Structure 1
Amino acid sequence: MATNGRADHGSTQSEVIIRATDVTVRFGSKAILENLSLDVRRGEILGFVGPSGAGKSVLLRTILGLNAKQAGTIEVFGIDYERASTDERLAVEQRWGVLFQHGALFGSLTVLENVQVPMREYLTLSPKLMDELARLKLDLVGLAPDAADKFPSELSGGMIKRAALARALALDPDIVFLDEPTAGLDPIGAADFDQLIMTLRDTLGLTVYMVTHDLDSLFTACDRIAVLGDRKVLVEGPLDTMLSFDHPWVKSYFHGKRARTIATDDQGAAGAAGPQGA
Structure 2
Amino acid sequence: MHPSDSDRPSPNGRATPDDDDVIIRATGVTVSFGEKTILDNLDLDVRRGEILGFVGPSGAGKSVLLRTILGLNPKQAGTIEILGTDYERANDAERLAVERRWGVLFQHGALFSSLTVLENIQVPMREYLDLSPGLMEELARLKIDLVGLAPDAADKFPSELSGGMIKRAALARALALDPDIVFLDEPTSGLDPIGAADFDQLIMTLRDTLGLTVYMVTHDLDSLFQACDRIAVLGERKVLVEGPLSMMLEFDHPWVHSYFRGKRARTIVQPTQTANAPVGAA
TM range (shorter): over 0.9
2:241: which partner in 1?
235
Percent identity among equivalent residues? 85
In structure 2, give the amino acid aligned to 1:88: E
For 2:4, the equivalent position in structure 1 comes to: 11
Quote how far apart the aligned CAs of 1:266 are: 5.8
- Is 1:149 aligned to residue 155 of structure 2? yes
Match of 1:73 in 2: 79
Alignment partners' CA distance in 2, 1:110 and 1:191: 26
Matched letter for residue 219 of structure 2: H
Aligned to 1:40, what secondary structure does the other structure show?
A: strand
Matching residue's letter, 2:203: I
Q: By how many angstroms is 1:11 displaced?
A: 3.0
Give the 3-state SS of the residue equivalent to 2:240 in structure 1. Answer: strand
2:232 corresponds, among 193, 209, 226, to 226
Residue 224 of structure 1 aligns to which amino acid in structure 2? R
- Range 38-47 or range 14-23, more displaced: 14-23
Distance 1:134 1:256, change over 3 A: same
Q: 1:143 to 1:265 in 2, by over 3 A?
A: farther
- Distance in 2, matches of 1:223 and 1:262, equals 16
Deviation digits for residues 39-59 of structure 1, max 9, x if unmatched?
A: 000000000000000000000
Is 1:64 aligned to residue 70 of structure 2?
Answer: yes
C-alpha offsets along residues 100-129 of structure 1, whole Å, 9 cap, x if unaligned?
Answer: 000000000000000000000000000000
Cα separation, 1, equivalents of 2:229 and 2:196: 18
Match status 1:168 vs 2:174: yes
1:122 maps to which of 103, 122, 128: 128
**Is 1:204 matched up with 2:210?**
yes
Cα distance in 2 between the residues matched to 1:29 and 1:236: 28
The answer to whether the 8 A contact 1:10-1:44 is kept is no
2:14 is matched with: none
Partner of 1:227, secondary structure, is strand
C-alpha distance in 2 between matches for 1:196 and 1:203: 10
Partner of 1:259: 265
State whether residues 200 and 206 of structure 1, in contact with CA within 8 Å, keep that contact through their aligned partners in structure 2. yes
Map 1:20-31 to 2 at 5 A. 20-31=26-37
Partners of 1:97 and 1:171 within 8 A in 2 = yes
CA-CA distance at 1:262 after TM superposition: 1.4
Conserved 8 A contact 1:9-1:43: no
Match of 1:102 among 83, 101, 108: 108
**1:263 CA drift (Å):** 2.0
1:37 is aligned to 2:7: no
TM-score normalised to the size of structure 2? 0.91
- Would the aligned equivalents of 2:105 and 2:183 in 1 still touch at CA under 8 Å? yes
Q: In structure 2, what is the Cα distance between the partners aligned to 1:266 and 1:142? A: 31
Q: RMSD across aligned C-alpha pairs, in angstroms?
A: 1.4
TM-score, normalising length: structure 1: 0.92
Alignment-derived partner of residue 93 in structure 1: 99
Structure 2 residue identity aligned to 1:132: E
Q: CA-to-partner distance for each residue in 1:28-49, whole Å, 9 max, x for gaps?
A: 1000000000000000000000
> Is residue 181 from structure 1 mapped to residue 187 from structure 2 by the alignment?
yes
Residue ranges of structure 1 left out of the alignment (5+ in a row): 1-7, 272-278
Counterpart amino acid of 1:140?
L
Matched, 1:82 2:88: yes
Q: 1:133 aligns with which of 136, 139, 151?
A: 139
CA distance in 2, matches of 1:189, 1:85: 41
Name the residue aligned to 1:4: none
Q: Which residue of 2 aligns with 1:191?
A: 197
Contact 1:177 1:210 in 2 (8 A): yes
Aligned equivalent of 1:248: 254
CA contact (8 A) 2:2 2:244 kept: no
Aligned CA distance change for structure 1 residues 10 and 173 (closer, same or farther; 3 Å): farther
**Counterparts of 2:37 and 2:162, CA distance in 1:** 37
